Amino acid sequence: MTVITRFAPSPTGLLHIGGARTALYNFLFSRHHGGKFLLRIEDTDRARSTEEAVRVILEGLEWLGITPDEPPLFQSTRFARHVEVAHQLLAAGKAYRCYCTPEELAEMRERALREGRAPRYDGRWRNRDPSEAPPGVAPAIRLKAPQEGETVVEDLVQGTVRVANAELDDMILLRSDGTPTYLHAVVVDDHDMGITHVIRGDDHLTNTFRQIQIYRAMGWEVPRFAHIPLIHGADGKKLSKRHGAVSVLEFREQGYLPEALCNYLLRLGWGHGDLEVISREEAIRLFDIKDVGRAPARMDYAKLTHLNAVWLRRADDERLLAEIEARLALRFGPLTETHRARIRALLPELKERAKTLNDLAEAASFLITRPEFEPKAAALLDASRRALLARLAARLAETPFEDRATLHETLRQFAEAEGLKLGEVAQPLRAALTGRTTSPPIDATLAALGREETLARLKALPPLEEAVETLRDRG
RNA sequence: GUCCCGUUCGUCUAGAGGCCUAGGACACCAGCCUUUCACGUUGGUAACACGGGUUCGAAUCCCGUACGGGACGCCA
């Protein structure tokens, strides 16, 4: 049997990391078993569904590399089929029309709650004769669910979960306005799509019992289920639109790499020994739904960021260059080939130091624009250091810049001649060239910037007394 | 309220009765490396929710308690 899984988000909000992880697990599971992964957009709630949300889901999945094997199916297009199945059930005597009014149901619920019972439909139309139907009332169609025995889910994650059928009431299949309910539509679609494994959030676990009853009533094969725990926010509360649920696209904007986010999401609720850094290929090879934990996990940005730094260091330089360029161009306009060459030259050093693409772009910015000086850097550029740098400039004017080792040696000899330690030369130089007190190694920085630009910056050092004063005033 | 699920360092997890003096990762602290910052590296702080069983032996099995989560809709 070919494994077919699906991700079935409703386009009423964002694609947040909880949804993204569900999609990832479905994807990995199907790939691990050489099967298919499908996408179904559950847009039956027309009032709340938006095209924008659909776009965000599609774009988010695309970015994460979790793409379906077939074009997405929109649930709203399946309306007629949902109705058809409900009527089949009706004709087979496995469903019935219920003429209860909303007021009646509300009262039923209230009384149950008051008497400490679970709020359930009491089945008052289950066995009534259709001739008793009140005139002018449009009926809902309810499933004639078994009342005795129990319904069991052999869940791949949760294990065997059973509930007494007496706990379940007769669910509505078709509303009185003729539209299908979610629970019914999902079953019909999953069946028609040939879904073999339903992997979803464990907030659906208790829905599963009712869904199984529909499969049974139709005589359909019941798929395997795997209910994975929800992801909670950093504060341990459920992720919701109002509460820490950010779109996966925001992670992209913040400079996270899709492979890092996937790696993080994979490890959130799943583990394989001591493995932490896991590629897509390894994930496909190792992923087993049985290894998914049962407790909800919390989002931890620090770990995500760490993983991002790991993947950043492994990333291809040209790809990173494109990402940096896209970000810097927003601030400084199009880059020139000279700029690109500088970034390329320093990239191996820059990527060691960055946690996100945004960090990386920021750290590279001095290569394409004259720096603004941080107070601590400005403080390094007092009169005597400026004189020192002027003497150094004369030496650098005669030094080839192609080779880091040569530059390093030049600096070392210069420092020695001045009776200084290397750092006492390197720090003012770094400050003058980058405007900061931290940067990649000074020889690499010089080499990337080139002789012409280096000398120009040393010559054109702006007066920075003001900054120095400010720093002094602050203590 | 009823039903369902869960509970190992701050966080993510390893752990399928003896391999556990409970391992790894992030974060944190200290040291080393060093031209700054990172990287790297060495070490450290830190957990089996609680109470009863079962067993020669329990983080692992059973029961209860507490706490957390989810579901109970003519929402999805």
User: Are the C-beta atoms of residues A210 and A169 closer than 8 Å to each other?
Assistant: no
**3-state SS, residue A226:** strand
Rounded to 5 degrees, φ, ψ at A269 are: 105, 0
CA distance A281 to A263: 11
User: Are the C-beta atoms of residues A174 and A184 closer than 8 Å to each other?
Assistant: yes
pLDDT digits over A264-281, tens only?
999 999 999 999 999 999
- Of residues 72 to 101 in chain A, which lie within 7 A of strand B by their beta carbon? 75, 98, 100-101
Q: How confident is the model at residue A475 (pLDDT cuts 50, 70, 90)?
A: very low
Q: Supply A84's token pair.
A: 């058809």
Whether A472 shows a pLDDT value over 70: the answer reads no
A394 compared with A126, residue with greater pLDDT: A394
- Of residues 117 to 146 in chain A, which lie within 7 A of strand B by their beta carbon? 117-121, 139-140
The lowest-confidence range among A2-16, A38-52, A394-408 is A38-52
Nucleotide nearest to A104 (CA to C1'): B74
Residue A135 has what pLDDT?
81
For strands A297-298 and A95-98, give the pairing: unpaired
Residue A178 Cβ under 7 A from any strand B atom: no
Nucleotides of strand B lying closer than 7 angstroms to a protein CB: 1-8, 10-15, 23-27, 35-39, 68-76
CA distance A269 to A263: 11
- Of residues 281 to 310 in chain A, which lie within 7 A of strand B by their beta carbon? 291, 293-298, 300, 302-303, 305-306, 309
pLDDT digits over A15-53, tens only?
999 999 999 999 999 999 999 999 999 998 777 788 889
Q: Which of A94, A144, A237, A241 is catalytic?
A: A241
For strands A224-228 and A159-164, give the pairing: unpaired
**3-state SS, residue A141:** strand
Rounded to 5 degrees, φ, ψ at A300 are: -130, 105
Residue A276 Cβ under 7 A from any strand B atom: yes
Q: How far are the Cα atoms of A99, A117, A161, A233, A356 from residue A126, in angstroms, in the given order?
A: 10, 20, 27, 43, 60
Residue A464 has what pLDDT?
67
User: Are the C-beta atoms of residues A147 and A165 closer than 8 Å to each other?
Assistant: yes
Residue A237 has what pLDDT?
66
CA distance A413 to A428: 16
Nearest of A439, A427, A5, A9 to residue A247 by alpha carbon: A9
Q: Supply A56's token pair.
A: 């965000």
A468 compared with A433, residue with greater pLDDT: A433
User: Are the C-beta atoms of residues A321 and A340 closer than 8 Å to each other?
Assistant: yes
Nucleotide nearest to A206 (CA to C1'): B71
The lowest-confidence range among A66-80, A101-115, A167-181, A330-344 is A101-115
Residue A462 has what pLDDT?
84
The lowest-confidence range among A129-133, A174-178, A248-252, A254-258 is A129-133
Q: In the predicted model, what is the mean pLDDT of residues A405-413?
A: 95
Residue A242 has what pLDDT?
53
Q: Nucleotide B15: nearest residue by CA–C1'?
A: A273
Residue A46's Cβ-count burial label (10 Å; 0-12, 13-18, 19+) is exposed
Indicate if A36 belongs to the active site.
no
**3-state SS, residue A135:** coil
- Of residues 383 to 402 in chain A, which lie within 7 A of strand B by their beta carbon? none
Residue A381 has what pLDDT?
92
pLDDT digits over A211-250, tens only?
999 999 999 999 999 999 988 877 666 665 555 667 899 9
CA distance A385 to A433: 13
Q: How confident is the model at residue A137 (pLDDT cuts 50, 70, 90)?
A: confident
